[in-house]
Structure 1
């Protein structure tokens, strides 16, 4: 790879690091508000080191007349996420006195909005640590993507390309200029976050808890300010969480389309209708099952089930009680839900709803072709023809996500973890869900007791899942590095 190209990549990563350094001022302000000045040094030093590193990459300047190719975008995407995670881990090491492995795992889980955690004692933790974890999820949810879409056009680099390497959104562009798209996306993201803060506060949370949970709900991340997650708070806040998780799991490009006059963009979208319909049927069916098999009233059963189901499907990671103790049926149901994910172009992870819908469309077309071999069967989804490129990309991604989960689970089993922990840990990492199943990493546990090697492998799985695997795997091909 040419030196000018590497300089350009370094310049852009440097901008991200400077932004990260500046954002550390918010935890510092939080410490002053809560009168914990003794913890300031952790963020002061971390911010200074990150700022120096960012300036070192930016000061040489961006070379003129350098055009980044699509393959350069894949390297930029992966390198920027790794760089941000490395520097964002510093405050956790200095403030919470945990190992670099644990700090990197927690940060990668935050930035990829996975929600898995190695920390305990959150109810008594430093407010700066709590707000920093929430900010990482908020930035990772869509903040970094939107910022890239806004910044890269100014550098004469196609910002939408980076957006597409970080998401599966292959729909039509909602507007011709990507920096305008970024403004609308950021505006929607901020609006949802602010409305969430107000709604959480009205539901009984303190302002601090409301701010944290609003950021992690809209980002579908799932970090909480309590070891009990949402179980600590009033039932009204559970309904707020459900609404915010749903908002974060729908395509942000469709919100932009709605703002620009297409009022029926969300309603008419086949993916959105399928996603919401699936959630409604699953929550109602599961609520009836829990109602008959527990002492809960139907309304309580509906609330508990809806929080947990929506949290898992949208890959948020909140927990309300330990659903792994509900019996074998519940365990298997939640394991299957781990793979679903939200909609393309959202802050959710997982396989995404459109891939399931396209698979059903292809199955239906193939069955009709068997009955009518000479017929020309149209294969359409959401009003568009399913061309060979889309079908190939879906098959490739589905195959490699299955292989990746299997390989990680096998490695975790080699480290001595039980099959339940190994398999669900791999699935929850790659699908960016958060909690796994079982007594160790289930909704009532965390990942602290896992060996360091397992944490590094799971962190790699989180990155692969967030960047939809192919973006990272392409870097390991010989053809990628050839001129």
Structure 2
């Protein structure tokens, strides 16, 4: 919190400085008290249960304390609203309650950008180091590929984390420099670069990227949204001159293929339905498609006016997501690849009952355990989507808002449909009840469902 405090104090002389000072004092007090009261006598050893607990509660507790600056600075935000804003930022969902962003304190806008930037790198590190060990939703497929106990991309786990962070920081710096050269102010360039690389989608402008109406800025952001949606550890391989592995990665090829096909589909839809000319259709269609699949949530126009087909298409794209080991949310590309391989093997088996057909993902045989994990994850994803939508509708929201809101939060994309959470409105019109439900959806989606749901099993708490 010292960073936005110094920005406000030195550059903008804003009154929000006192809010950051108060938040720093509260965090420092509780952090120091907890650390001193719980000092271990020996080496800390985490078992499977402790790993689940640390993973889940770190995001919940951090979001509580991260919401303090919003509560202390913006008098319009209640405690629940402040917590919602911090959860949305840390989970890189990008759903916001703040309005009049152009006139908001710069330190508060920078704090949101920092939260989503830290949340993005945090989920990448977790996906590559913790989720494979916990066998979350088929992530054990990547245990042999990314764990420090097998192929050893880098000698130690700490070096893997350092490599990921280095790539992440490099992308952010390059993106910031290009946006500044393209015409953004240095402050906006910093915030939007952190938002694009983390695929968070929070902007410093109410009109999002549409405020600038600059094709070059849109192109730069599209490139870095795509980079943020790829498996970042692949760039470590590329840095180590392992071009062959980078080129042969089937998930990366499928991801780029989905982006291309979906962008062309939206482009031709906008052009053929006479919403806009072809060049504008390509520009708008490619941007919103990339923003949705990478679960970023940036916009350049009112996509709510583009017809019912696009609304449904947006709903589907948001749930697909990007690559595993990226900052994106959603189901992830590799799970659809596993599902397709299993379905293909089953259909071939039906046609030739005596044949032997082995489902394969990236030269690895898909084991029964992986298949079961993937099927369980996708089933739970659909179940959670329906239950969240039912809960929101039970609290008085209409069908479109309930369904799009649950999909938006569970996929961590932040894009909504309907009058309450549409493209030109914030989530501020929601009552506290729906906000709490959506916060649960954001954390569920960010932690790959099972990491949080396992805590509700009575057997988890038994010795």
Q: TM-score range by the shorter chain?
A: over 0.9
The answer to whether structure 1 residue 308 and structure 2 residue 285 are counterparts is no
| CA separation of 1:162 and 1:55: change in aligned 2, threshold 3 A | farther
Query: What are the ranges of 5 or more consecutive residues in structure 1 without an aligned counterpart?
Result: 1-23, 150-158
Structure-2 residue corresponding to 1:219: 198
Q: Deviations over 1:280-331 (max 9, x none)?
A: 1111222122122235332221111111111111110111111121111111
Offset at residue 62 of structure 1 (A) = 2.6
SS state at 2:130 partner: helix
**Larger deviation, residues 67-76 vs 219-228:** 67-76
1:382 counterpart residue number: 362
2:16 to 39, 62, 84: 39
Match of residue 102 from structure 1: 81
Q: 1:128 — aligned with what?
A: 107
State how many pairs are aligned.
Answer: 450
Corresponding position of 2:69: 91
Q: CA deviation at 1:257?
A: 1.8
1:188 aligns with 2:157: no
Task: Give the conservation status (yes or no) of the 8 Å contact 1:440–1:447.
Answer: yes
TM-score (ref. length: structure 2): 0.94
The match for 1:330 among 287, 292, 310 is: 310
Q: CA deviation at 1:61?
A: 2.1
Q: Is the 8 A contact 1:165 1:467 kept in 2?
A: no
Range moving further from structure 2, 288-297 or 336-345: 288-297
Matched residue, 2:32: 55
Correspondence 1:69 to 2:38: no
Q: How far apart are the structure 2 equivalents of 1:162 and 1:381? A: 18
Instruction: Tell me whether 297-306 or 31-40 shows the greater mean CA deviation.
Output: 31-40
Q: 1:295 to 1:336 in 2, by over 3 A?
A: closer
Check whether the contact 1:167–1:344 (CA below 8 A) recurs between aligned residues.
no
Partner Cα distance (1:193, 1:85) in 2: 23
Cα drift, residue 451 of structure 1? 1.2
Give SS of 1:448's match: helix
Q: Is this contact kept in 1: 2:116–2:195, CA < 8 A?
A: yes
Equivalent residue for 2:338? Answer: 358
* Match among 147, 157, 170 for residue 178 of structure 1: 157
Question: What's the TM-score once normalised by structure 1's chain length?
Answer: 0.90
The CA distance in 2 between the partners of 1:325 and 1:354, in whole Å, is 32
Counterpart in the other structure of 2:3? 26
Change (3 A) 1:162 1:381: closer
Match of 2:267 among 270, 279, 287: 287
Cα pair distance change 1:331/1:37, threshold 3 Å: closer
> Which segment is superposed worse, 332-341 or 293-302?
293-302
CA distance in structure 1 between the aligned counterparts of 2:218 and 2:433, rounded to whole angstroms: 35
| Distance (Å, rounded) in 1 between the aligned partners of 2:245 and 2:61 | 36
Give 5+ residue unaligned stretches, structure 2: 147-152
Alignment of 1:207-246 (within 5 A): 207-233=186-212, 234-246=214-226
Residue 395 (structure 2) aligned to one of 383, 397, 415: 415
| Equivalent pair of 2:12/2:106 in contact (CA under 8 Å) | no
